[in-house]
Amino acid sequence: MRELFTCPVCGQGLAEEPRRWLCPGGHSFDRAAEGYVHLLTPAQMRSKIPGDPPEMVRARRDFLASGQYDFLADALAEQLRPILPPEAVIFDAGCGEGHYTRRIADRLTAGGIRLTPVGVDIAKTAVRMAAKKVPEGRFAVASLYRLPVAEGVFDAALNIFSPLCAEELARVLKPGARLLYVVPAARHLYEMKEILYPEPYENEEKDVEYAGFRLVGWERAEKRMSLSQGELASLFAMTPYFWRSPREGAERLSRREQLEVTAAFRILIYEKKDEE
């Protein structure tokens, strides 16, 4: 594989060694015991613990382990399967704890694709989990707005509920490569919002054009979930509603022993434009 990560200090390519990543300028970055590398510079850290707090990461890990969102990962794998070459490098932008990366990699590998998964997240706790879950992958703690990644290395990219920096994704994708961008559909988790808020609202659905990409279509992935109290608590703790909901609504939700909830997503499919 050609050089993948780049030095966050000088921008030169990083060579992968057994215990570190090293650039020609002599900047060295240790490989953690779990296999990831920390490429987030102090200047890019706006807080002591950037990204999702550890308790949110653990809640997401616990909920996703229940399998309730596996249908989304499977839908993404089906979109990727026909567009990838026999040997492919895919990028999970905002990989979190690696659940989607793992399941998608398993589906694609079972279909005969020799896959190298790569993931970046700003949350160190999440990247540590992802590297353990997907040991054959390459993972880095880094900012999505300044990716320490070489140009034109990926055959496809995923962005699942993470901040989208289209300019950076266009830079690291090969010409004609696809970006699958997952966003909530109008009534995603609406039944939970009915409990949390006096006036629940639907999410706005819109098709946005981004520089460097053309929108070629979208797909819907939806499932009705029957959630136990524990699953509901983990789901709530991993969403922004945990921070935004009134205390009364959160208390009402905590008293529910079971709830039928709709998970509804839109998969927006973008293609990187050829350079003009």
> Are 33 and 139 contacting, i.e. CB atoms less than 8 angstroms apart?
no
pLDDT along the chain (276 residues), means of 10: 85 94 95 95 70 91 96 98 96 97 97 96 96 97 95 97 95 97 97 95 92 95 97 95 92 96 98 80
Is 3 part of any domain? no
Integer Cα distance of 36 and 114 in angstroms: 21
Question: Residue 275 has what pLDDT?
Answer: 67
Question: Residue 43 has what pLDDT?
Answer: 73
What is the DSSP track for 62-91? HHHHTTTTHHHHHHHHHHHGGGS-SEEEEE
Is 206 part of any domain? yes
What's the CATH number where 184 sits?
3.40.50.150
Question: Residue 252 has what pLDDT?
Answer: 96
Question: Residue 45 has what pLDDT?
Answer: 63
Domain hosting residue 96, numbered range: 36-272
Is 78 part of any domain? yes
Please give the tally of structural domains in the chain: 1
What is the DSSP track for 147-194? --B-TT-EEEEEEESS---HHHHHHHEEEEEEEEEEEE-TTTTHHHHH
φ, ψ at 209 (rounded to 5°): -90, 135
Is 24 part of any domain? no
What's the length of the chain? Answer: 276
Is 26 part of any domain? no
Is 164 part of any domain? yes
Question: Residue 219 has what pLDDT?
Answer: 96
Is 124 part of any domain? yes
Number of Cβ atoms within 10 Å of the Cβ of 53: 13
Is 4 part of any domain? no
